[in-house]
Amino acid sequence: MSTTAQMLSRRLPLPNQPPLTIPQIHLGLYQMSPSTTTSSVLAALKTGYLGFDSAQWYNNESATGAAITSYLTSHPSLTRSSIFYTSKLRSNSTDYTAVRTSITSSVQASGLGYIDLFLLHSPYGGKKARLITWKAVEDAILAGEIRSGGVSNYGVKHVEELMGWEELKVKPVVNQIEVHPFHTQEEIRGVCEKYGIAVQAYAPLVAGMRMGHSVVVGMSEKYGCTPAQLLVRWSIQHGFVTLPKSSRPDRIAENADVGWFEISAEDMKTLDGLDEKLVTDWDPTDAP
């Protein structure tokens, strides 16, 4: 088995919902058009990716699911249970029925029968909306529409709020947040570890904004890898589920080809020290 195949087959446990596991490397599908999503998902599947991260907001749930279904049909040795498909709720609501209907719509849009992980995309909407929305996620899990639930862009207070809710029945398995050497999110990571919540790292490539940074370039030359591979490897060694995004087949393969080298403890510390709290897109973690 190649090192790329080994990396893409690596799965991490989800402590809050054993024995469920999750592929450590996913293909991120943010801001991809339906046609680009189709070609990217197919290219990723050919490379060996098993994790795919979509969202209602991305408007590519149907394209993602259709590409997966098409590939599975032509490759019967790979089954639906091998795939880990994630989607996210567009917005929280105090209307429980509306949220349940929205979750059902996402399942139907994917055409995959169920969603492996469904996230609250942000903490926006206020406490009441967050908790009512989570109740809908819990019930969708009990109904078999989704296998697990999680949150995204949750700050410390939002995680504490949910985990301290006296009506909580199903714990979130992940918190998907922006994490990379230039925004290490140590405080949020700490509260997630406290509650057994896995960290999913989006924008692990820093949206390309720091590929030319002298430390990243110098360290990439030292290890004989690309800057993107170095950043993905940093994420892997921290134990995150990482979501590199690309629509180019060569880059999709490159981003997963990180099993042949290891960053030293000293160099990991150097990369950690690059933190400048750089936000590449949005930051709802301080939402009221």
At position 120, the amino acid (one-letter code) is L
Binding site residue list: 121
| Chain mean position to CA 107 | 18
Tokens standing for residue 181: 């050497």
Q: Are strands 198-202 and 26-28 parallel, antiparallel or unpaired?
A: unpaired
Is 58 catalytic? The answer is yes
Q: Are strands 26-28 and 174-178 parallel, antiparallel or unpaired?
A: unpaired
> Annotated catalytic residue: which of 49, 58, 85, 202?
58
CA distances from 12 to 17, 18, 93, 97, 216 (A): 12, 11, 31, 33, 27
Is residue 205 within 8 Å of 244, Cβ to Cβ? yes
Is residue 54 within 8 Å of 81, Cβ to Cβ? no
CA angle 195, 145, 61 (to 5 degrees): 95
Phi, psi of 115 (to 5 degrees): -110, 130
Across the chain, the runs of DSSP E, i.e. the strands, are 11-13, 21-23, 26-28, 51-53, 84-89, 115-120, 146-152, 174-178, 198-202, 241-243
Identify the CA nearest to 53 among candidates 80, 72, 26, 71.
26
Q: At what angle do helices 227-237 and 249-256 cross, to 10 degrees?
A: 40
Q: Name the strand (E) or helix (H) holding 172.
A: none
Binding site residue list for substrate: 121
Catalytic residues: 58
